[in-house]
Structure 1
Amino acid sequence: MSMNYLLGDSIISPLGFTTEENLKAIRNSESALKLQNNSRFFEDGYYASLFDNEIIDEKFNTIGNPFSYTKLEKLMILSVNQVLDQYPNLDLSETGLVVSTTKGNIDQLEKEQFSPDRIFLWKMAQVIADFFGINKKPDVVSNACISGALAIKTANDLIAAGRFKYAIVAGGDLVSDFVLSGFQSFQAISDQPCRPFSSDRKGVSLGEAAAAVLVGPSALESGEKVEYIDAVTANDANHISGPSRTGEGLFQSISRLLNRNKIEAKEINYLSAHGTATIYNDEMEAIAFNRAELSHVPVNSLKGFYGHTLGTSALIETVITKHSLLNNELYTSLNYTDSGVSQELNIIRENKSEELEIALKTASGFGGCNLAMLLKKDR
């Protein structure tokens, strides 16, 4: 089976409308998490990473009519468009589209601007495909918070199966009243910017973003690039929302992945964790990493920069992991104070340069889903 790579990419977030703008903000330890006072659920406001809608329309107006698309559709189309701009000769007749999201256009439930079927995930994906003239029926991946990384695995698997030669993976989610009320029902939202793995963490901060990456063989790329090695998923079926107390599902996904690819834990140079800053998630990850003998590996969570962007989070974090490998950069785990988990972790506390070759990206989500992915710099 031929190798596939993470080729061109795009991150659109309140930190910036390109990947490079986002990386610059991360290098400067800038966070998009701000106090928001526009919610009926939080009397004293809440911290989240939100877009200015006027800026979205201003950007979108250069490629289409902003009134013809929902907020999320516009963000995802802008992100895909940036990827396609990097490859003007890409043959869309042999390119697929894999869309990652948890809630899609859920914000349209109480609105009547668009047809009712726009609420369906398949319809949103088709709208995006139609914008670019992608004739192959798009695939949708919606598996809680591993969706973004699972969409990359899905793209690789579909390419390997001969469905198409290249695939654009596009992800997006918004901070809607539906999402806010859901997390608040768990009393899981922090009243301060989230602090993953810290003793003073109080819960999750939410964020909205879109991202896209082109997956496929290396013919379009020269020089250093990042190979998608493999990914493994495992479901511990512990609870509809609570993670396994033993980290079993995440441990299984990591150990099976390393064993299948004959890679030892000591060969991993960087670990990009899920790190939501909730009490049980962070503890579960720490236990799983320790069981997998990864406690020595430099690890961070990017949630302090973006908040939890749901179905986009693992996609954004994979793109940033790709650039960490290419640039030999490790980024701080923003807002970390001191350890709040029972197992030792090598938390990255400041940006630094380090020779990197192999990275492990993990993600976990509601329903007991877990994913581990290996990426390798190809010189």
Structure 2
Amino acid sequence: MNQEVYITDYNCVTPLGFDVSSNWTALLEGKSGVGLHQIIQNQPHFYASMIDAEKVNKEFNENFNRDQLDNQSFTKLEKMLMLSLKPLVERHPVSEHTAFILSTTKGNISLLKNESALPEGVFLPNLARKIADFFGFKSKPIIVSNACVSGVMAIAVAKSMIRTGKYKNAFVIAGDEISEFVISGFNSFQAIGTEICKPYDKSRDGINIGEAAAAVYITSEPKNNETFCFKISGDSAVNDANHISGPSRTGDGLFASIKNAMAEAQISTSQIDFISAHGTATLYNDEMEAIAFNRMELEQVPLNSLKAYYGHCLGASGLLESIISMESALNNTLIPSKNFEEPGTSQPLNIIRENQSADIQYILKTASGFGGCNSALVLEKM
């Protein structure tokens, strides 16, 4: 079935705010959630974008009463995910034809700290089932955990599931939190930046890890009273099998993903109004993206990375950045790629440097990750 599928609602929880409107206001003001944090005891501070645990607890207690919780305890990540999802479930009914999809790379991995045995909550199916059961989902949860393309791929998976005819709508949630495990891993690659990151800039020296939760509602039957509607016009995921952690030097996987997504959307390069790129601020990722975008003749299209605002939120990054890109389209405003000053890639890119007005109909969202995975998504404002 070639049924049309749409995104008609979304929400997010980040260091910049616990809803989309507060996040959008913070972005317009150029605020960043990245700061110095001591994540590993007796180790140096790292630049990262962290959500204050006390704020999460306060917001959670205000939104969920004890009777609802049924004596269950919830981790910080679970609370973030539930806070992002709750407004959507309140606005859209859940039925047996509703899919539930969780995007995450590490889930509750922080539960492994100082544990001699594996806690049940650390397994991703258990995390997904716990949240699905709480909100009354009737279908079996689907998990998308494919490195840093997970958030973008989860949207594509929802579209495919709805097109089978088994589901009429889907809720996609995404979340990851900062942990010693994640910081230690990226630090071992010498990939963590010494300051707030600078995507595509000549002086960039690495990423900032971030944490966030996000949720979108996807449907084949948009209602007339929806405040907005974006068609998922095209998507693609291609693995270039280049390296376990290093991106392709030729951009083959990302190039193919973009080409396939645009072909499905039946649009040309000239119709893309804005690119929400991955932009990790590592030397090789930004260079690979520049090559791929130039191969697709997209070098003149306005482009940004949100990593200097949110850090790299792993499995949540693609979904969160898709939400912000749609918010940009609704507000006819392009957000600058923070901290970009001097081009640092061999191929030219049209990096957005300041808030600017723009008529945005077609959005290209891209993501790349470990293991050679690449994903692209074309969203059309209706």
What percent of counterpart residues are identical? 46
Which aligned pairs between 1:326-341 and structure 2 lie closer than 5 A?
Answer: 326-341=330-345
Q: Using the alignment, how far apart are the partners of 1:372 and 1:308 within structure 2? A: 17
SS of aligned partner of 2:84 = helix
Q: Given that residues 255 and 296 in structure 2 are in contact (C-alpha distance below 8 angstroms), is that contact kept between their aligned partners in structure 1?
A: yes
> Which of 227, 230, 236 in structure 1 is aligned with 2:234?
230
Q: Using the alignment, how far apart are the partners of 2:208 and 2:39 within structure 1? A: 15
> Which of 165, 181, 186 in structure 2 is aligned with 1:183?
186
Q: Given that residues 8 and 222 in structure 2 are in contact (C-alpha distance below 8 angstroms), is that contact kept between their aligned partners in structure 1?
A: no
Q: Using the alignment, how far apart are the partners of 1:77 and 1:135 within structure 2? A: 17
Q: Given that residues 225 and 326 in structure 1 are in contact (C-alpha distance below 8 angstroms), is that contact kept between their aligned partners in structure 2?
A: no
Q: Given that residues 226 and 325 in structure 1 are in contact (C-alpha distance below 8 angstroms), is that contact kept between their aligned partners in structure 2?
A: no
Pairwise CA distance, 1:222: 3.5
Residue 51 of structure 1 is matched in structure 2 by 51
Q: Given that residues 300 and 332 in structure 1 are in contact (C-alpha distance below 8 angstroms), is that contact kept between their aligned partners in structure 2?
A: yes
The answer to whether structure 1 residue 79 and structure 2 residue 121 are counterparts is no
- The range that moved more, 1-10 or 240-249, is 1-10
- The range that moved more, 34-43 or 325-334, is 34-43
Q: Given that residues 360 and 374 in structure 1 are in contact (C-alpha distance below 8 angstroms), is that contact kept between their aligned partners in structure 2?
A: yes
Pairwise CA distance, 1:112: 5.9
> Which of 351, 354, 357 in structure 2 is aligned with 1:350?
354
SS of aligned partner of 2:222 = helix
Unpaired runs of 5+ residues, structure 2, are none
The answer to whether structure 1 residue 367 and structure 2 residue 371 are counterparts is yes
SS of aligned partner of 1:171 = strand
Name the TM-score, length of structure 2 as normaliser. Answer: 0.95
Cα separation, partners in 2 of 1:131 and 1:342, compared to 1, 3 Å: same
Residue deviations 1:257-281 (CA, integer Å, cap 9, x gap):
2233321111100000000000000
SS of aligned partner of 2:160 = helix
Pairwise CA distance, 1:111: 5.1
Which aligned pairs between 1:238-317 and structure 2 lie closer than 5 A?
Answer: 238-317=242-321
Pairwise CA distance, 1:3: 1.2
> Which of 156, 159, 166 in structure 2 is aligned with 1:156?
159
Q: Using the alignment, how far apart are the partners of 1:80 and 1:257 within structure 2? A: 27
Residue 104 of structure 2 is matched in structure 1 by 101
The answer to whether structure 1 residue 69 and structure 2 residue 70 are counterparts is no
Q: Using the alignment, how far apart are the partners of 1:225 and 1:286 within structure 2? A: 30
Residue 145 of structure 2 is matched in structure 1 by 142
Cα separation, partners in 2 of 1:182 and 1:131, compared to 1, 3 Å: same
Pairwise CA distance, 1:163: 2.7
Q: Given that residues 112 and 122 in structure 2 are in contact (C-alpha distance below 8 angstroms), is that contact kept between their aligned partners in structure 1?
A: yes
The answer to whether structure 1 residue 206 and structure 2 residue 209 are counterparts is yes
Q: Using the alignment, how far apart are the partners of 2:42 and 2:240 within structure 1? A: 32
Residue 11 of structure 1 is matched in structure 2 by 12
Pairwise CA distance, 1:140: 0.2
Residue deviations 1:32-62 (CA, integer Å, cap 9, x gap):
001113424742x111111111111111113
Unpaired runs of 5+ residues, structure 1, are none
Residue 124 of structure 2 is matched in structure 1 by 121
Pairwise CA distance, 1:325: 1.5
SS of aligned partner of 1:92 = coil
Which amino acid counterpart does residue 354 of structure 1 have in structure 2?
Answer: A
Cα separation, partners in 2 of 1:161 and 1:111, compared to 1, 3 Å: farther
SS of aligned partner of 1:181 = helix
Name the TM-score, length of structure 1 as normaliser. Answer: 0.95
- The range that moved more, 103-112 or 361-370, is 103-112
The answer to whether structure 1 residue 193 and structure 2 residue 188 are counterparts is no
Cα separation, partners in 2 of 1:195 and 1:41, compared to 1, 3 Å: farther
Which amino acid counterpart does residue 347 of structure 2 have in structure 1?
Answer: Q
SS of aligned partner of 2:374 = strand
Q: Using the alignment, how far apart are the partners of 2:311 and 2:42 within structure 1? A: 18
Residue deviations 1:272-308 (CA, integer Å, cap 9, x gap):
0000000000000000000000000000000010000
- The range that moved more, 189-198 or 215-224, is 215-224
Q: Given that residues 41 and 180 in structure 1 are in contact (C-alpha distance below 8 angstroms), is that contact kept between their aligned partners in structure 2?
A: no
Pairwise CA distance, 1:375: 0.5
Cα separation, partners in 2 of 1:227 and 1:144, compared to 1, 3 Å: same
Q: Using the alignment, how far apart are the partners of 2:307 and 2:43 within structure 1? A: 21
Residue 39 of structure 1 is matched in structure 2 by 40
Residue deviations 1:122-149 (CA, integer Å, cap 9, x gap):
1000000011011211000000000001
Residue 23 of structure 2 is matched in structure 1 by 22
Pairwise CA distance, 1:7: 1.3
Q: Given that residues 33 and 304 in structure 1 are in contact (C-alpha distance below 8 angstroms), is that contact kept between their aligned partners in structure 2?
A: yes
Cα separation, partners in 2 of 1:353 and 1:146, compared to 1, 3 Å: same
SS of aligned partner of 1:294 = coil
Q: Using the alignment, how far apart are the partners of 1:366 and 1:189 within structure 2? A: 15
SS of aligned partner of 1:57 = helix
